[in-house]
Amino acid sequence: MRQALLLVLLSCLSAAAEPQPANLIANVPGRTTYSLNGVWRTIVDPYETGLGIRFYENRKPRDKADLVEYDFGASPTLNVPGDWNTQRSDLFFYEGPLWYERGFTYHKREHTRTFLHFGAANYLARVYLNGTKLGEHEGGFTPFDFEITNAVHDGENFVVVEVNNARRLDAVPSVNTDWWNYGGLTRDVELVDVPETFIRDYFMQLAKGSTSEIAGWVQFDGKRSRNEVTIEIPDANIIYKTLISPDGRAEIRFDVSKLGCTDNSPAKCPKPLQLWSPETPKLYRVVISGEGDRVEEEIGFRTIEVRGHEILLNGKPIFLRGISMHEEAPFRGGRAFSVEDDQTLLGWAKELGCNFVRLAHYPHNPTVARLADKMGLLLWEEVPVYWGNDWKNPHTLEVAEEQMRDLIARDKNRTAVALWSIGNETPIVPERLDFLKSIAAYARQLDSTRLITAALNQRKQAAPDVRELDDPLGGYLDVLGINEYIGWYDGRPEDCDHMEWKIAYDKPVIISEFGAGAPFGNHGDADARWTEEYQGDLFTRQITMLRRIPSLAGMTPWVLMDFHSPRRFLPAVQDFYNRKGLISNRGQRKQAFYVLQKFYREMAKVPQP
Ligand code: GCU
């Protein structure tokens, strides 16, 4: 009897941990939207008193005797999108609940459904419309939306959001990170209008290993009449129609080379697809229509796979000339969110000679991947399973899987995204392996067209000049990311000169981090820490060392730009900045920038076999 009860309990727990399918509206920028960005009223609420006294009702005193101990209208403001830490100096170190409020006027339209969409809110968000709770969202870097078709008023409305960035052991990330815990409504907030029956989500890419077969699906939401969906790629004269099955889903699979010519005119015969690559980032306008709805998207077609030590793009080996990057705004600091921020950061990566960027350690804003599509930069995208986590906690796994699910849902049509990373520098303990195996399997289930990786750092010192990596997680990855700090946390830069690497897997390796700290303009001997000369020398020796690794398929040194970190204290050197950037937070290029640029320019000239 006790055993039966235990089994039931366990199945409930495991059932509870199974994340729900993504329910996000794909391609929000391609829909009819109304921005709620701008100035919002705010109340800082360290004790979360606002929940009990119902801040979400946004109440005004009924009369002079009525007791209401808050007033959004008279409260300070914050800009949305944006973190609160860099907007108000009194909030720089603030971690906890903070309430946002704003009103908006909305005119309802017939046969229209309306959603309230958030690009991200760090960390836990409770959302209310006109005093009624819409729901909650946990996770600071992925989008979420609520349908408000029946809750929104024709006329005046108000939305209240409690955002709480307090760190918790069972959260993802957990309590310790080497980046600033920027809180707030950090990305766009908008209303999204769609027809009663609409194209909720879709996925379109080349089938694995094919350069002419397109595979994917389209998911409709709402009543349907004709049950037919059309895919058009006008620049390639492609028109493909198929049926929608009863659950609203249409499977898409067709070979461009086998499609007939539209109305048999040779001018309208489908053209072979020009494949996307960093050198030729060709994007096609893809139009999906059916049941009275129509969305269009820019998609490039390419294949990404592994073969032994090699990463193949469109069937050819590619060396990933990369850099790691945080979502820190250049010059002003704080969480980056604007097109300008992203263009500056990716522009610097291009200037370095990169064809690849590792977006560390969490999903960056959605504009980054769209820009990378256009600029010809392959991407590594990661969920913030970072350092230690509450590995045995089903809630923690569920939150981590939901972040993976929503990142894939949001960026699956981004051509630039080549790798999904399931974590960074996690300790080798059994429960961690189970946790990450589950996420890896889930990511493969959601997207079989991309590569799964993780940044590993648990290596053995087999001898003073031998480093061995045999992390069991490597067995579940397509590509091994390795973080190593030879010459900074591990020995001296000259140790690179004789260092040998032993890697237990016959898989491509990306050195996902190496680096050294140096504030811009700090000069001195190459063996003096914190000088640009030390950082530059270390990069020279690292590059030479890494080129000796036979399975090296790429690198993303740490890091593009200095970024805020609560773990960096050295006065007049760090001042709450991690100084391992090749560029300072003011855009000044350090010596190491040019060392890496020179290497990448040489590599770019090397014809790939
Ligand atoms: C780690 C970690 C980074 C961190 C870096 C550093 O490897 O992954 O998040 O910033 O090292 O110490 O500078």
Q: How confident is the model at residue 609 (pLDDT cuts 50, 70, 90)?
A: low
**pLDDT exceeds cutoff 80 at 266:** no
Q: How far, in Å, is the centroid of ligand 1 from the Cα of 133?
A: 39
CA 60 vs. chain centroid, Å, equals: 40
* 496 vs 494: CA distance, rounded Å: 5
Query: Residue 208's pLDDT is what?
Result: 87
Query: Residue 260's pLDDT is what?
Result: 79
Is residue 422 a contact partner of residue 443, using CB atoms and an 8 Å limit?
yes
Q: How confident is the model at residue 446 (pLDDT cuts 50, 70, 90)?
A: very high
What would the mean pLDDT of 153-178 be, rounded to a whole number? 98
Contacts of 161 (CB under 8 A, 6+ apart): 99, 100, 101, 121, 125, 126, 127, 128, 185
* 38 vs 488: CA distance, rounded Å: 43
- Token pair, residue 220, equals 């409709």
Amino acid letter, residue 325? M
* For ligand 1, atom 7: residue with the closest CA: 483
Residue with tokens 């960093």: 278
Mean pLDDT (the chain, rounded)? 95
Residue with tokens 């959601």: 446
Report which secondary-structure segment, H or E, holds 197.
Answer: none
**Max Cα-Cα span within the chain:** 82
* For ligand 1, atom 9: residue with the closest CA: 178
* Ligand 1 atom with the shortest distance to the CA of 517: 13
* 221 vs 19: CA distance, rounded Å: 20
**pLDDT exceeds cutoff 80 at 272:** yes
Q: Which of 15-19, 220-224, 392-396, 491-495 has the lowest mean pLDDT?
A: 15-19
Is residue 134 a contact partner of residue 125, using CB atoms and an 8 Å limit?
no
pLDDT digits (tens, 9 = 90+) for 300-339: 999 999 999 999 999 999 999 999 999 999 999 999 999 9
Query: Residue 608's pLDDT is what?
Result: 56
Q: How many CA atoms lie within 13 A of 33 on its CB side?
A: 18
What are 199's strand-pairing partners? 220
* Ligand 1 atom with the shortest distance to the CA of 424: 8
Query: Is the dihedral angle over the CA atoms 389, 391, 393, 395 positive or is it negative?
Result: positive
Contacts of 546 (CB under 8 A, 6+ apart): 511, 514, 552, 555
Q: How far, in Å, is the centroid of ligand 1 from the Cα of 466?
A: 22
* Ligand 1 atom with the shortest distance to the CA of 563: 10
* 143 vs 109: CA distance, rounded Å: 25
Q: How far, in Å, is the centroid of ligand 1 from the Cα of 515?
A: 9
* Ligand 1 atom with the shortest distance to the CA of 455: 8
* For ligand 1, atom 4: residue with the closest CA: 178
Report which secondary-structure segment, H or E, holds 378.
Answer: strand 378-382
**pLDDT exceeds cutoff 70 at 106:** yes
pLDDT digits (tens, 9 = 90+) for 394-445: 999 999 999 999 999 999 999 999 999 999 999 999 999 999 999 999 999 9
* Ligand 1 atom with the shortest distance to the CA of 513: 7
Closest to 113 measured CA to CA, from 191, 222, 220, 194: 194
As a 3-state breakdown, the chain gives helix, strand, coil percent values, each rounded to 5, of 25, 30, 45
pLDDT digits (tens, 9 = 90+) for 74-96: 999 999 999 999 999 999 999 99
* Ligand 1 atom with the shortest distance to the CA of 515: 13
* 515 vs 496: CA distance, rounded Å: 12
pLDDT digits (tens, 9 = 90+) for 496-555: 999 999 999 999 999 999 999 999 999 999 999 999 999 999 999 999 999 999 999 999
pLDDT digits (tens, 9 = 90+) for 49-76: 999 999 999 999 999 999 999 999 999 9
Q: How far, in Å, is the centroid of ligand 1 from the Cα of 17?
A: 30
Q: Give the three-state DSSP class for 56.
A: helix
Q: How far, in Å, is the centroid of ligand 1 from the Cα of 178?
A: 6
**pLDDT exceeds cutoff 70 at 16:** no
Query: Residue 19's pLDDT is what?
Result: 58
* Ligand 1 atom with the shortest distance to the CA of 489: 12
Beta-sheet strands, E only, within 387-456: 417-424, 451-456
What are 132's strand-pairing partners? 129
Phi, psi for residue 67 in degrees, rounded to 5: -100, 110
Query: Residue 263's pLDDT is what?
Result: 67
Answer with the residue of higher pLDDT: 264 or 299: 299
* 598 vs 582: CA distance, rounded Å: 13
Q: How far, in Å, is the centroid of ligand 1 from the Cα of 528?
A: 21
For the entire predicted model, the pTM comes to 0.95
DSSP string, 119-183: S--BSEEEEEETTEEEEEEE-SSS-EEEE-TTTS-SEEEEEEEEEE----TTSSS-S--SS----
Alpha-carbon radius of gyration of the chain: 25
Query: Residue 20's pLDDT is what?
Result: 58
Indicate the top mutation candidate among 174, 177, 178, 486 to test ligand 1's pocket, ranked by most ligand atoms within 8 A of CB: 178
* Ligand 1 atom with the shortest distance to the CA of 177: 9
Contacts of 151 (CB under 8 A, 6+ apart): 129, 130, 132, 134
* 123 vs 142: CA distance, rounded Å: 10
What would the mean pLDDT of 8-23 be, rounded to a whole number? 54
What DSSP character marks residue 608? -
**pLDDT exceeds cutoff 70 at 557:** yes
Q: How far, in Å, is the centroid of ligand 1 from the Cα of 255?
A: 44
Q: Is the peptide bond before 505 cis (omega within 30 degrees of 0)?
A: no
Q: How far, in Å, is the centroid of ligand 1 from the Cα of 89?
A: 26
Query: Any residues with Cβ below 6 Å from ligand 1, and which?
Result: 178, 361, 424-425, 483, 513, 558, 578, 580
Q: How far, in Å, is the centroid of ligand 1 from the Cα of 114?
A: 42
Phi, psi for residue 297 in degrees, rounded to 5: -150, 150
Q: How far, in Å, is the centroid of ligand 1 from the Cα of 564?
A: 12
Percent of the chain exceeding pLDDT 70 equals 95
H-type helices in 266-319, by residue range?
Answer: none
Query: Residue 259's pLDDT is what?
Result: 86
* For ligand 1, atom 12: residue with the closest CA: 178
* For ligand 1, atom 3: residue with the closest CA: 178
Q: How far, in Å, is the centroid of ligand 1 from the Cα of 507?
A: 24
